[in-house]
A and B are shown apart, each in its own frame.
Chain A
Amino acid sequence: MNTRYLVLAGLLVTLLMGCRKDYEAPVPYTFSNMTGSGKFPTAIRQAINGVYTVTDGSDKFGAQVVLRWTYTHNGADTSHHLSVFTSNVGYFDMEPQPQTGGLAVGGYWRRLQDTEIGLVQLTVNVRRSGVVSPFTGRLATGDTLVVSGVYGDGDVTPTKRLTMTYARPLNPRPFSILAHRSGGRTSDLLPASENSVEIIKMASRLGATGIEIDVRYTKDGVPILYHDNTLNLRLIQKNGLAGPIEAYTYQQLNTLVRLVNGERIPTLEEALQTVVDETDLSFVWLDTKYIGSMQKVQTIQQTYLQRAKAAGRSLQIVIGLPSDDAVSLYRALPEKANTPVLCELDTSITRSINANIWAPRWTLGDQRAEVNAMKAEGRTVFVWTLDEPQFIREFIDQTRFDGILSNYACVVAYYHYSQQ
């Protein structure tokens, strides 16, 4: 009888111990990061951008997808990537593959809600009078682009067919697709950690036209990107350090702390330099997670607005005010010129500080009256942080918000660009 007790107790303990499953989604493709557009000059890339109907592969990716080219710079070099956005929270990240004949791209696909990932290889063809042939760059009337190829699961060589036929151009309505935490959450198992320089470079491939980043100060006043209040295992590799990040100096963090995927915690300046120099992003939202003076962030905001202008970049950088404390910090600024702000609180506070952007929570619903009032006053309205795909569709179809902040920029991109 005693052994039964022990066995059952042991069952209890083992039940509790190694119980949490560790999910992973390792990327099976290594990018060559070839520079230059190769066989995909601007005109061809613009011709490929559009909404496509899926025939083969619709059981995996849905009946309709969005294709869109984005780029990143590295010094004087430019890398172009083709993304596909699906309605079931999926994205493809592909680069030109010059070694394959014709107009070929290859890379990986990923479904963000779980860990499904795989390789994909596609070629761009044109269908003319029922005949499909490789696309050479010229589109005559009656031609339809067909992007097709194979995809697979995990690191298995792709063999399943995928066929996407051009249906119509991308919805041209201006709309901000903002990626949360510089691109997405660490828990969504993206190739890079949230609030890192690495994910900023990826953000547009995930569907974003802009990003939201979380700003905090270290103990010695260096503005850095970090979301949580404390150093914890959600965000950093285990090293024994804990407690509020504001208790640590920049030197301590830079030497001893690494984000989950191995990156360093970036400074605000490093992040904005990356946005200006290396990406095609047009919007940065600096979320005020710090206490203490806002002046340092304001100075950096203005510096980088000027650098963007000098570089010919169309870039908006706004300071986000999520709380009454943040609004007080803003009010305490001696000089408020050239300091665009975004207010998350109610409309009256937004008016009292004359914020450029109003951004309420999505859990309040469509708020039609307030949104119309704010827009009539010349303000932009965003909503955050909306991830539920069915609600994203509702918000894009039924409301008048100018942009959505989401962890799943690919879904927002899908519903926005495919809207008719």
Chain B
Amino acid sequence: MRRPGIYFPQAPIPGRWRKSIGAIFTTTPPELTEEIRVNVPAIDFNLQRGISKNWFITGRILTQVVQSNVGVGVRYARPLTDRLFISAGDDMHVWFGVLQIKDVFNSQAYGLQNFPNVSVGYRFTRDVQMTLKCEAILDAYYKSQVGTLAIERNAIRYNGLAVSVVIEQPLYGKKHVSLGLRAAYSNFNWQLWSLYDTFDRNLFYPQLIFGFIL
């Protein structure tokens, strides 16, 4: 049995698509934004397609206008019991940002990140399913340019990890939503590339996930 979901570790029917649109709100760490503590929203679009009974491919687009993140991945999911499901997968993301503001920025940057992930899902009732997802965050490439000067880092580096807890259930009528929290501990966060984080420390990035499953 399948219920509408994006995070729940169960493949869509082979050949079928599923998608969601929503927003993800990230709270900025005080080490980087100091006095200004904000919740930065990003538009979050997910697209998944079933390949076989257990395999599916995932796609995701996150955008905040001046910077965006596009990822594709593959996942293997299977049930353990009639309520407990697990999956494992890997996502490859590319992010890029451009800031051209007179007398302030003439900068751009882009990078590659890889996210191996495992998820455990539990279906409480016919309608409510909860997923616990753990991701490792690996930096694969980084290039940053100001004016004509550029630097790059071309090495695979362990950046951090993230744990998400997401509940997927109907909100009203036939509309299902994903509602969850993602706690990321990472050295670098693509959304804050323009702050040029030089701390060699894992900072805490709490995120609120909300999306309508279409």
* A–B proximity contact (CB within 8 A): yes
Asked if residues B183 and A387 are in contact (CB atoms below 8 Å), the reply is no
A365-B35 contact, Cβ under 8 Å, with A5-B124, A387-B198: no
Whole-angstrom distance from the CB of B135 to the nearest CB of chain A? Answer: 14
Q: How many residues of chain B are within 8 Å of chain A by beta carbon?
A: 37
Contact check, A113 vs B200: say whether CB atoms are below 8 A apart: yes
Interface size on A, residues (CB 8 A): 45
Let me know if B104 and A391 touch, CB within 8 A: no
In the complex where A5-B124, A11-B165, A394-B149 touch, is A20 in contact with B34 (Cβ < 8 A)?
no
Cβ-based interface call for B82 (8 A): no
Complex CA–CA separation, A19 to B163 (angstroms): 12
Those of A234-271 within 8 Å (CB) of chain B:
234
Q: Give the residues in chain A near B202, CB-CB below 8 Å.
A: 21
Is A229 part of the binding interface, using a Cβ–Cβ cutoff of 8 Å?
yes
Q: Tell which of B34, B107, B153 has the most Cβ of chain A within 10 Å.
A: B34
Chain A residues with CB below 8 A from B201, complex form: 21, 23, 113-115
With a cutoff of 8 Å between Cβ atoms, the chain B residues found around residue A15 in the complex are: 163, 165, 181, 183
Of residues 381 through 403 on chain A, the ones whose CB sits less than 8 Å from some CB of chain B are 387-391, 394-395, 398-399
CB atoms of A346 and B103 under 8 A apart? yes
Count of inter-chain pairs, beta carbons less than 8 A: 101
A391–B35 CB distance below 8 A: no
**With an 8 A cutoff between CB atoms, is A376 at the interface?**
no
Q: Report 15 cross-chain contacts, Cβ distance below 8 Å, ordered by A residue.
A: A4-B122, A19-B206, A21-B202, A23-B201, A113-B199, A114-B200, A115-B201, A187-B30, A187-B31, A230-B35, A364-B146, A388-B144, A388-B196, A390-B151, A394-B151
Binding site for B on A (CB under 8 A): 1, 4-5, 8, 11-12, 15-16, 19-21, 23, 89, 111, 113-115, 187, 228-230, 232-234, 345-346, 360-367, 387-391, 394-395, 398-399, 407-408
Q: Which 7 A-B pairs have the closest CB atoms?
A: A365-B147, A113-B200, A390-B151, A114-B200, A365-B146, A228-B35, A387-B198
6 more A-B residue pairs beyond the given contacts A4-B122, A364-B105, A390-B151, with a C-beta to C-beta distance below 8 A: A12-B181, A15-B183, A21-B204, A113-B198, A187-B199, A388-B151
